[in-house]
Amino acid sequence: NGIQLENLVRLSKIGAGNSGTVVKTLHVPDSRIIAKKTIPVENKEVLKNQLVRELTIMKNVSAHDNIVGFYGAFYNPSTTNEIVILMEYMDCGSLDKILSVYRSDCHRKNVSISCKTSWFNEMPLSRISFCVLNGLIYLYDCYKIIHRDIKPSNILINSKGDVKICDFGVSTTLINSLADTFVGTSTYMSPERIQGGRYTTKGDVWSLGLMIIELSSGEFPLGGHHDTPEGILDLLQRIVNEPAPKLSKNEHYSIEMTDFVNRCCIKEERGRSSLKELICHDFICKYNNRDTIAKEFRHWCKKVKKRIKEDKMIRREETERSKI
């Protein structure tokens, strides 16, 4: 069952973040599509061996419906300065990608992003929240792992209707070897984390709340895009100093969803709801207790996948046309 690097063929680049690059890859012996993530690390033998050892426990951890499948970690002897992580390929991609396709779709149709027509209406948001909470509870209860980086790009979806989380803090060596860069600073960080306080699973609850506001409104709360380090630092300061973000009052959200988000986005950690309180919340039960939810959500995912394909084609046509 082990995958060997020499049996992999590169298909296309999926994306890149602060810490690495993800490539869609074919595993030739069984024609399986997988995602290959490459992370540059310091070229020290001890460090790399330690890293691979720590990442290998991911194999056990990933045996859960809401954790992205893990096929192995290597350090690439031919390039010497990178770690390779092989994981399950999720064909609808991450929530940030889906949101950006939705935004372009609205832009082309010249309609505003409102909650009534949003792809991210309450059913998918309730389902996504349930799956994220379920995955986080499993990570903490079974492995005492706190995710630390919940954000749209780390929540992956496939057309079978699965929602899975990835990129959690399993390896302290990896976290430390990335720590001296700007990596690890995220605008989804809770106020206590920004202030250097203690970090518990409630930090992930805060991030989940922000993510729901962003997906339902189409925009990151507390304003705009933050591409420069100065912009991000300014935003982090506002998260600490200003009142907690809320769902917009101008849109109609249900009482259940509004209350759920309010309980996630409580600035003081002690007052914030816990993972286990939230998974029993009415907003989760309202949809996830229906026996049709899995089917409804699978249907939603299939539709999203179709839209992603259409978006790709339109973009291709647009670039072709701009060449003429």
**Site of interaction with Mg ion (CB under 5 A):** 153-154, 167
Name the residue with tokens 């995912």: 301
Residue 37 is labelled as binding a ligand: yes
CB nearer to Mg ion: pick between 167 and 192: 167
Task: Identify what 22 binds: Mg ion, ligand ATP, none; CB under 5 to 8 Å per kind.
Answer: ligand ATP
CB of 70 to ligand ATP, least distance (A): 10
Q: Which is nearer to Mg ion, 183 or 294 (CB)?
A: 183
Site string for ligand ATP, 167-186 (x = CB under 6 A): x-------------------
Closer to Mg ion by Cβ: residue 153 or 171: 153
The answer to whether residue 75 forms part of the interface with ligand ATP (CB under 6 A) is: no
Q: Which is nearer to Mg ion, 93 or 209 (CB)?
A: 93
Nearest of 315, 268, 81, 39 to residue 166 by alpha carbon: 39
Q: Is 66 in the site for ligand ATP (CB under 6 A)?
A: no
- The span from the CA of 71 to the CA of 247, in Å, is 39
For residues 254 and 116, give the distance between their C-alpha atoms in angstroms, rounded to a whole number. 11
User: Which of Mg ion, ligand ATP, none does residue 14 bind (CB under 5 to 8 Å by kind)?
Assistant: ligand ATP
Q: Which of 141, 149, 204, 291 is catalytic?
A: 149
Other Cβ atoms less than 10 A from the Cβ of 205: the count is: 25
When binding is defined by CB under 6 A, the residue of 8, 14, 208, 266 that contacts ligand ATP is 14
**118 near ligand ATP (CB under 6 A):** no
What is the three-class DSSP state of 163?
A: strand
DSSP 165: E
Smallest separation (angstroms) from ligand ATP to the CB of 188: 10
| Residue entry with tokens 């709360």 | 221
With CB atoms as reference, the residue minimizing the distance to Mg ion is 167
Dihedral of CA atoms 58, 276, 272, 225 in degrees, nearest 10, equals: 50
Q: Which listed residue (3, 35, 155, 178) binds ligand ATP by CB under 6 A?
A: 35
| 149 part of the active site | yes
Query: Which of these ranges, 8-16, 118-126, 139-147, 216-224, lies near ligand ATP under the rule CB under 6 A?
Result: 8-16
Helix 122-143 crosses helix 201-217 at what angle (to 10 degrees)?
A: 160
> Out of ligand ATP, Mg ion, none, which partner does residue 90 contact, by CB within 5 to 8 A per kind?
ligand ATP
Nearby residues of 164 by Cβ (< 8 Å), 6 or more positions away: 65, 66, 67, 68, 69, 88, 90, 131, 135, 155, 156, 157, 158
Given the complex with ligand ATP, which of 35 and 265 has the nearer CB atom?
Answer: 35
Q: Note the residue count of the chain.
A: 324
Q: Which of residues 130-169 bind ligand ATP (CB under 6 A)?
A: 153-154, 156, 166-167
Residue pair 308/98 in contact (Cβ under 8 Å)? The answer is: yes
Q: Measured between alpha carbons, how far is 215 from 77 in angstroms, rounded to an integer?
A: 41
Q: Which residues are catalytic?
A: 149
